[in-house]
A and B are shown apart, each in its own frame.
Chain A
């Protein structure tokens, strides 16, 4: 379904580029040109992504995560025994905070992204099916969705994390995805419901198009702008959830660097009060990441809504 959705999005972009009012990519570009802060957020976001992914390629994870007890809690700017200078200091195990930040950011971004993609595929698909077919299928699906929505999801995830055997990062992605698709399903069901009452759908039905074709070639392109904006906002939310869980000790295993594990140093009140260099950079990086992704998301949302557009 992923390939299909990408194909149809590309097609719409082509179609939209031909049509008279500028939509799609060009509309988004215009929105970003008009809104300097959105442009700035996008630049910051790209910079963080480059920092995380290129940094992770250059640095050696084994060297960074190696415990070096002699350099325990080195202050920022201190030099190690071997003359290596620690830009942001070290943690309890004498590991370089800067290096951990690079790998942590990469892991958090990657996990947030994976969850966003998985939940989007499930959510959009379920939403389209429920909204398009309606009736009994819709009622059954929405009953399930409504039920999952009222669950204390975070607590259940914490319990699952503690009882799943051979637990790793991938398990976390699946556990989180299993619960967080429901919000999307609800959103896309509502959108599909209003969309499938439009004339072009009835026309297509009258012409005898198959349901499959109507859903994926006609409905999907028309909800694609919502998919893109929702994807962006959700990406930020998922990074937030992963780092929160990891901070509490129920996300990534403590050996895997994540922005959450780095912030979790603050769970020790001694470290929280007196060694801020261990956790403040990660906390600030999360904050900047959240703000920039959300701002970019808002600009995207505006560009897809003619009434709110700046450009």
Chain B
């Protein structure tokens, strides 16, 4: 994982160098003397060889210093810190909803294979796999947000809510629920697919036949024996699920005008706020890496066979 982090940071550094402008373009007012600007650049090491600049940048990044946001005039870490909580809340609720939906659907579809319920699940799964995120999000925000008026269409909390109160918490929940449902509907496809086929395969397995012949009730066979075994691939996809959520947040937050880091990324790109952009890509990249690592760890916890001694 360490070499991957290093290559990732190098790549981001190269991207940052390719971006037009330098850290001073935004900081200094236009009346500054160009000669003075040049002095500042010299002092900050703008003309140093690239590897020195890279190590300086890396060193600062490791200390949590990504520079100043040109758009907000705050530390980049502060700007991201204000929004990351919203994204985490959205992601956590999405993951909970995804599994709350996917596990029963996959399990029962597999158990009652070829029933009308199974067919409905297969159709649902097909649609949720095929539909692009932004199309579903737009239709949902249009129907449930604007036409029916059931859910708010922007923001993460009502402006009237007082921080710290129960009402504030409820307002946050109310704002997060529609985007979370959209993400959950899109996220279920892989899990349902896995679970359903695992359950169908498991019906033929020896351990299921053994359980049947010794008289274990059918319900228990499915909920205990089969589910335990079928949950392995699901557990392994949990990490990737998180990765997908972080990337998907860019689209969802943009459509729901939800002030998270995905939304921040798009607005920073539009404002050419490069210090925020580099920090965010590094963050998203790390989240992906951690998601992958998490999958491996979860896998080794639930499956004793692949545990490293």
Instruction: Considering the complex, give the chain A residue whose CB is closest to the CB of B19.
Output: A163
- CB closest residue in chain A, given B280: A155
> In chain B between 228 and 283, which residues have their CB closer than 8 angstroms to a CB of chain A?
246-247, 250-251, 254-255, 257, 265-266, 269-270, 272, 277, 280-281
Out of B4, B7, B153, B265, which one reaches A155, CB within 8 Å?
Answer: B265
Please determine whether A295 and B142 come into contact, CB atoms closer than 8 angstroms. Answer: no
Query: How far, in whole Å, are A244 and B255 apart by their CA atoms in the complex?
Result: 11
Q: How far is the CA of A218 from the CA of B298 in the complex (A)?
A: 41
Q: Residues of A contacting B11 with CB < 8 Å?
A: 151, 156
Give per-residue flags for B102-145: 1 if the beta carbon is below 8 A from chain A beta carbons, else 0.
00000000000000000000000011011111110011011000
Cα distance A230–B20 in the bound complex, in angstroms: 39
Contact of A159 among B15, B135, B250 (CB under 8 A): B15
- Which residue in chain A gives the minimum CB-CB distance to B272? A162
Q: Are B138 and A279 in contact (CB under 8 A)?
A: yes
Q: For this complex, into which size category does the number of interface residues on chain B fall?
A: 35 or more
Collect the chain A residues with CB atoms within 8 Å of residue B19's CB: 159, 163
B129 pairs with A294, CB closer than 8 A = yes
A45 / chain B contacts, CB cutoff of 8 Å: none
B135/A263 in contact, CB under 8 A: yes
Question: Which chain A residues lie closer than 8 Å to B15 at the CB level?
Answer: 156, 159-160, 163
Cβ of B126 and Cβ of A247 under 8 Å apart? no
* Min C-beta distance of B21 to chain A, whole Å: 10
- CB atoms of A248 and B251 under 8 A apart: yes
Contact with B along A152-171 (1 / 0, CB 8 A): 10111011101100000000
Asked if B288 and A243 sit within 8 Å, CB to CB, the answer is no
- A272 CA / B139 CA spacing, docked (Å): 10
Tell me the minimal C-beta distance from B270 to chain A in angstroms.
Answer: 8
| Chain A interface residue count, Cβ-Cβ cutoff 8 angstroms | 38
If A147-B4, A154-B250, A294-B129 touch, whether A263 touches B134 (CB-CB below 8 Å) is: yes
Residue of B nearest to A246 (CB): B134
Cβ of A290 within 8 Å of any chain B Cβ, yes or no, is yes
Q: Is A203 positioned at the interface, with any CB of B under 8 Å from its CB?
A: no
The answer to whether B288 touches A152 (Cβ under 8 A) is yes
Interface contact A154-B138, CB-CB below 8 Å:
no
Q: Which residue of A lies closest to B20 (CB)?
A: A163
**B24 interface residue per 8 A CB criterion:** no
* Contact partners of A266 in chain B: CB under 8 A: 138, 142, 255
Contacting residue for B142 out of A154, A159, A273, CB 8 A: A273
Give bound CA distance, A293 to B247, whole Å: 24
Check A240 against B281 for contact (C-beta < 8 Å). Answer: no
Given known A152-B284, A263-B138, A283-B139, contact A290–B131 (CB-CB < 8 A): yes
Residues from chain A with a CB closer than 8 A to the CB of B292 are: 150
CB-based nearest A residue for B136 = A287
Q: What is the minimal beta-carbon distance from B28 to any residue of chain A, in angstroms? A: 22
Least CB distance from A45 to B in Å reads 13
Of A160, A163, A244, which contacts B251 at CB under 8 A?
A244
| Interface pairs (9), CB distance under 8 Å | A159-B15, A162-B269, A163-B19, A244-B133, A248-B251, A269-B154, A286-B135, A287-B131, A290-B131
A155-B280, A159-B19, A244-B133 given; name 18 further pairs at CB < 8 Å.
A147-B4, A150-B4, A151-B8, A151-B288, A152-B247, A155-B247, A155-B265, A156-B15, A159-B269, A244-B134, A248-B266, A266-B138, A266-B142, A276-B142, A280-B142, A283-B135, A291-B127, A294-B126
